[in-house]
Amino acid sequence: MMKLAWLELNGCSGNIISLLNGSEPGLEYMITEMVDLVYDQSLIPCEGERAMDALFSLLDGEEFILAVEGAIATRDDGKYQIVGRWRGEEITGVDAVSMLGEKAVHVIAVGACASHGGVSAGTPNPAQCVSVQSILNRTVINLPGCPCHPEWFLSTLEYLLNYGEPQLDAMGRPVFLYGITIHQRCERRSYFDQGIFASNLGEPTCMFLMGCKGPITPIDCPIRKWNDRVSWPVQANTPCIGCAQFGFPDQMEPFITFPPAEAEPGGL
């Protein structure tokens, strides 16, 4: 069984929490049927040197996949982000990603922060956080989202295990997940086509004029939904804020706008 190491770096640990909340399949299926989870800060039963030994034992030659959530702090040689101590030395996030990323069969950047910096690299970015790809000179599979949906990660992992690297777009995202925008499959698309737009939250029509980022965000939220397919933001009467798009959150702000009544949308 392929080994998997999951690093939690600068971020909120929201992606591992999201994975814990997944089902059909979920974390239990992943660790019993798909991979041997060797390391994750939140889940590994040991700590300290033993945990570091478990993580860096992967450098001895066994094949493994590296998943990284959170951005990498680079200020002051990475000292703003210490993963642990190994063989008497402090290991920074830069160190861990560099050492493990060079040896891994595949590297997956899980969530916005790992994919492009995300919230962790938001202005003014005091820790000088960067993406996983900024550290590694190799292909990194990016799964942007804040957080990453558990099925985005698990379907990518399943693809890697069975078929190898999936087709990626110019930003390193799997096309089978990020190939179609939210707007194209939105349940309110018919209102957009008819020019019927909401002007206040709670109205059941298209929220394009309220700043919805669905037209520029490629991902499958309208058909996959969240929390066991219960709902998703537009269904809950809030515009998409583009959390699965590169540049989130800074470039997606403001999340909600209230345009003048005479405003007209551009063609999409």
pLDDT digits (tens, 9 = 90+) for 42-51: 999 888 889 9
**260: pLDDT strictly greater than 90:** no
User: Residues of the chain with pLDDT > 70: what percent?
Assistant: 96
- Average pLDDT over all residues of the chain: 94
pLDDT at 158: 97
Between 268 and 240, whose confidence is greater? 240
Q: What share of the chain is helix, strand, coil (3-state, %, to 5)?
A: 35, 20, 45
Assess whether pLDDT exceeds 60 at residue 29: yes
Q: How far apart are CA 66 and CA 64, in angstroms?
A: 7
Contact 237, 201 (CB under 8 A): yes
> Is residue 195 pLDDT above 60, yes or no?
yes
Q: pTM for the whole thing?
A: 0.94
Q: Is the CATH number of domain 180-268 4.10.480.10?
A: yes
Q: What does the pLDDT average to over 93-119? A: 98
114-147: per-residue pLDDT in tens? 999 999 999 999 999 999 999 999 999 999 999 9
For residue 47, the model assigns a pLDDT of: 87
The single-letter code of the amino acid at 55 is L
Q: Residue 225's CB: how many other CB atoms inside 10 A?
A: 15
The H or E element that residue 36 is part of is: strand 36-40
pLDDT in tens, 201-245: 999 999 999 999 999 999 999 999 999 999 999 999 999 999 999
- Give the Cα-Cα-Cα angle 68, 230, 169 (nearest 5 degrees): 40
Q: Is the pLDDT of residue 183 over 60?
A: yes
Choose which CATH entry (3.90.280.10, 3.40.50.700, 3.40.50.1400, 3.40.50.300) describes domain 3-178: 3.40.50.700
Residue 264 has pLDDT above 90, yes or no: no
Q: Quickly state the pLDDT bin for 99 (edges 50, 70, 90).
A: very high
Burial of 204 (0-12, 13-18, 19+ CB in 10 A): exposed
What pLDDT does residue 259 have?
63
Residue 268 has pLDDT above 70, yes or no: no
156 pLDDT tier (thresholds 50, 70, 90): very high
pLDDT for 39:
97
Tokens of 131: 């993406």
pLDDT in tens, 45-83: 888 889 999 999 999 988 999 999 999 999 999 999 999
Domain ranges of the chain: 3-178, 180-268
pLDDT of the residue at 266? 54
